[in-house]
Amino acid sequence: MAKIIKKIVRVVLIIAAVLIMVPLILFLLLQAPRIQTWTVSRLANAVSAKTGAEISIGRVSYSLWHEIVLDDLLFRDLNGDTLLAVRKVDLRIREIRPSHQLYKFGTIDIHEPDFRMIQDTSGIMNLTAYLRSLKSDRERDSTKGIDIRFADIDLLDGSYTLSNMSDTVGVVPGSVNFRNMHIGNINGKVRDLRVIPDSVSMVIRGLAFQEAGGFLSRSLDVNMAVAGSSLLFREVDILTDSSAVLAEKILLMPREEDSWKDFINDVRIDFQFNNSIVNASDISFFVRPLAGISEKVSFSGRVTGTVAEMKGKNIRIDYETSTRLRFDFDVSGLPEINESYLFISFTDMKTRASDIEQFTIPGRKPVRLPVVAHDMGLITYKGSFTGFTTDFVSFGRLTTERGAFDTDLSLRPDGGNTFGFRGSLRTSGVDLGYITRNSKLFGGLWMHADVDGSMKSFRHLSANINGVIDSVEINSYLFRNISVSGKYADRIWDGSVEVSEPNIKMSLLGRFDLEKSKPEFDFTMNLANADLHALNLIEKDSVFRATALVTANFRGNSTENLEGDLRLINSTLNNSNGKLNIYDLLVSSEIVSGEPHLRLRSDFADADIRGQYTIDAIKRSVSSMTADLFPSRFKKPETPKGEQPAEAMFSLEARIKRTDKQIGRASCRERV
């Protein structure tokens, strides 16, 4: 019994010695550089045999804790070009099962990796060709497929190249060329990298890099996958010096494997952005027309389709304090923007003139909008733009703090900050009192009109207008049914106005020039009927009507520089005191030797006024004179308490030619 026990103990000791010595001998052998290099080379050759790509390793070292250090690792694609080159790799092996084509690695430090995705002239990318070879091997043996996994990778000072062999542009400073993109200074972490026969997937965290064109990323988080020919990025979080972009997904999906050679037409995109803040200086790397602009906007929304046929849904853009854009769009024809057909549907658009002026474009003067644009306050628009950038239609409703405008306009940008417009315009509740700074005289405006004109730099407006003022409040009276036809150009109106309602019937034809320092007026007015009391022009006499034919041609903005003529023909004034017929009355004004001269000629009186005067002074003097001459008919003018009579120095010469039977004939002279 004792002998049997001794034999069992001896066998156990021998087995234990073998179990200890064999791994020890293997470990000691593996410490020899030649043995390590030979072992890893065999492993690399096995992987190369499966992938069809060349793998070479400069030097290998191995530790007892399954840690391998690889120096000068080179992975070539099927064309023999570099796909991946690494100066040094520190990795820990978790599991290697060549019979099952399973390779699992733990923590890996990759020093100076250089990853290159190159598209040849036929449109095939090297990584796509490599994945296709893995897939074909799997199809030949459907029960097996290579599976390479990396749990945790630290990238140190790496680089990445996405190159198209057909590109002739190369690196462009200030721009990202997606056909020849070079990214350097890559530092970050990669988690759960997995390579299977038809795809590569990974989780990237804290990735910092700089593109050769100048774009700089401080931190990038993304879940990335290369599936077949598609590039798929999900849960994207990019942080730069001036932007923070969050994207649920950024997908680039070519229709066919060779579709990358026609990115504009054959690569489908699907971008979903969430609550991102971006500076135009960062966007300019991808959209060259924005170069030099440094403005921040907040945005979100989804963009799908191809570059040539692009659609946007639920787009949100916020800028400055008041500008808010909510819209969908459909663009066909990019990247040639001037030849692209646009459809933009604004569900909500808000802005202020101050926000628009805040936006600056390098090399151009700051935008300065006219005062009336600031008067509009918060501007809201709901509607659509349809057509080309050179000729499109605006259909919608523009609401401001001073009224609303409904538009159905065709807009035609003509270059030089000028655009033409044509169509229909309807206004509602426009506050003319606030716009003209005269709320006592003007109130609201409602009108509809057909317009055809142009505007330059939002300051110089010229338009032919044909329409109807449905209602407008002037002097606390609401005028209705006013027909308007003519041309307006920079505060100059040349056309006709017709009013037809119970209290006034009038037609006006002429030219009003308010642009010059001395306004000019040249018009003819036929006043068929006017109830001056109902129109709030006469307060004391409730029965005061007038008819008149008026012609005028004068200029000036005060009695000191007034020059021209005003004539009344076959006119009638009818009030509670009686009726006055004016068959011909001419009022003319001129400057003689630097002194104003006002002349009145009529069939009942003539008068000349010379000197410095005002209308109030003339009115007061005439009232005083007539009260002295005819005390039974006229009263002396009274000066309200606290007010001073209008001061003037002028001479008045008047001759009464026709009066009624009570007044008789008289002539007089008076100097004031």
Average pLDDT over residues 481-499: 90
DSSP state letters, 169-199: S---TTS--TTEEEEEEEEEEEEEEEEETTE
Range scoring the smallest mean pLDDT among 124-133, 558-567, 659-668: 659-668
Range scoring the smallest mean pLDDT among 61-70, 175-184, 307-316, 539-548: 61-70
Segment (H or E) for 284: none
Percent of the chain residues past pLDDT 70, beyond the cut = 81
CB distance 652 to 670 below 8 Å:
yes
Residue 48 has pLDDT above 80, yes or no: no
Top pLDDT among 557 and 213 is at 213
Average pLDDT over residues 241-268: 88
Please, what is the angle between helix 126-140 and helix 33-51, to 10°? 80
CB distance 388 to 401 below 8 Å:
no
Segment (H or E) for 273: strand 267-279
CB distance 89 to 110 below 8 Å:
yes
CB distance 198 to 131 below 8 Å:
yes
Average pLDDT over residues 599-615: 80
Q: Which of the residue ranges 138-142, 164-168, 270-274 has the most confident prediction, judged by mean pLDDT?
A: 270-274
Handedness of CA 652, 658, 662, 665 (dihedral sign): positive
* Residue 657 belongs to some domain of the structure: yes
Please, what is the angle between helix 2-30 and helix 33-51, to 10°? 80
Do 163 and 87 lie in one domain? The reply is: yes
- In angstroms, the CA 383 to CA 356 distance is 20
* Residue 636 belongs to some domain of the structure: yes
Top pLDDT among 439 and 613 is at 439
By residue range, what is the domain housing residue 628? 604-672
Top pLDDT among 663 and 110 is at 110
Average pLDDT over residues 188-210: 88
Residue with structure tokens 């003037």? Answer: 648
Do 11 and 54 lie in one domain? The reply is: no
Do 108 and 203 lie in one domain? The reply is: yes
* Span 337-371, pLDDT tens digits: 778 888 999 999 999 988 888 877 666 777 788 78
Q: What are phi and psi of 601, to 5 degrees?
A: -135, 125
How many whole angstroms from its chain centre is CA 26? 70
Do 125 and 54 lie in one domain? The reply is: yes
Average pLDDT over residues 268-293: 84
What 3-state class would DSSP assign to 63?
coil
pLDDT at site 17? 47
pLDDT at site 205? 92
* Residue 49 belongs to some domain of the structure: yes
Name beta bridge partners: 276. 299
pLDDT at site 198? 76
Residue 672 has pLDDT above 50, yes or no: no
Average pLDDT over residues 88-113: 83
Do 143 and 10 lie in one domain? The reply is: no
* Residue 286 belongs to some domain of the structure: no
pLDDT at site 671? 40
pLDDT-derived band of residue 669, with 50, 70 and 90 as boundaries?
very low
* Span 204-242, pLDDT tens digits: 999 999 888 888 889 999 999 988 888 899 999 999 988
Top pLDDT among 629 and 534 is at 534
pLDDT at site 5? 52
pLDDT at site 38? 59
Do 61 and 179 lie in one domain? The reply is: yes
Tokens of 547: 């008819």
Tokens of 423: 């169509």
Name beta bridge partners: 107. 152
Do 8 and 72 lie in one domain? The reply is: no
Range scoring the smallest mean pLDDT among 45-54, 279-288, 386-395, 491-500: 45-54
Do 65 and 208 lie in one domain? The reply is: yes
* Residue 40 belongs to some domain of the structure: yes
Residue 12 has pLDDT above 60, yes or no: no
pLDDT at site 66? 61
Name beta bridge partners: 315. 327
Average pLDDT over residues 658-665: 44
Last residue of a domain, one of 196, 213, 228: 228
Number of H helices, E strands in the chain: 9, 33
pLDDT-derived band of residue 660, with 50, 70 and 90 as boundaries?
low
Do 636 and 661 lie in one domain? The reply is: yes
pLDDT at site 19? 47
- In angstroms, the CA 317 to CA 400 distance is 20
pLDDT at site 665? 36
Residue 59 has pLDDT above 50, yes or no: yes
Q: How far apart are the first and last CA of the chain?
A: 158
* Span 364-392, pLDDT tens digits: 777 788 787 888 889 999 999 898 877 88
Q: Which of the residue ranges 312-326, 458-472, 598-612 has the most confident prediction, judged by mean pLDDT?
A: 312-326
Last residue of a domain, one of 213, 228, 243: 228
Residue with structure tokens 């579709």? Answer: 259
Last residue of a domain, one of 228, 250, 283: 228
- Show Cβ contacts of residue 454 under 8 Å, excluding neighbours closer than 6 positions: 414, 418, 419, 420, 421, 461, 462, 463
Average pLDDT over residues 449-460: 81
CA dihedral of 176, 180, 183, 188, whole degrees rounded to 10: 100
Residue 461 has pLDDT above 90, yes or no: no
- DSSP 8-state class, residue 108: E
Residue 155 has pLDDT above 70, yes or no: yes
Distance of CA 572 to CAs 444, 489, 538, 565, Å?
A: 31, 35, 15, 20
Top pLDDT among 284 and 471 is at 471
Top pLDDT among 6 and 379 is at 379
* Residue 140 belongs to some domain of the structure: yes
Mean pLDDT of the chain: 80
Residue 404 has pLDDT above 90, yes or no: yes
- For residue 333, the number of C-alpha atoms closer than 13 Å in the C-beta half-sphere is 11
Range scoring the smallest mean pLDDT among 18-27, 125-134, 250-259, 423-432: 18-27
* Residue 579 belongs to some domain of the structure: no
* Span 421-446, pLDDT tens digits: 889 999 999 998 888 888 888 899 99
- Show Cβ contacts of residue 17 under 8 Å, excluding neighbours closer than 6 positions: none
Do 56 and 175 lie in one domain? The reply is: yes
- In angstroms, the CA 524 to CA 509 distance is 5
Residue with structure tokens 């046929």? Answer: 309
pLDDT at site 40? 59
pLDDT at site 343? 92
Do 17 and 107 lie in one domain? The reply is: no
Range scoring the smallest mean pLDDT among 74-88, 118-132, 197-211, 485-499: 118-132
Average pLDDT over residues 540-559: 86
Q: For the chain, how many structural domains are there in total?
A: 3
* Residue 51 belongs to some domain of the structure: yes
pLDDT at site 288? 72
Do 13 and 68 lie in one domain? The reply is: no
Residue 634 has pLDDT above 80, yes or no: no
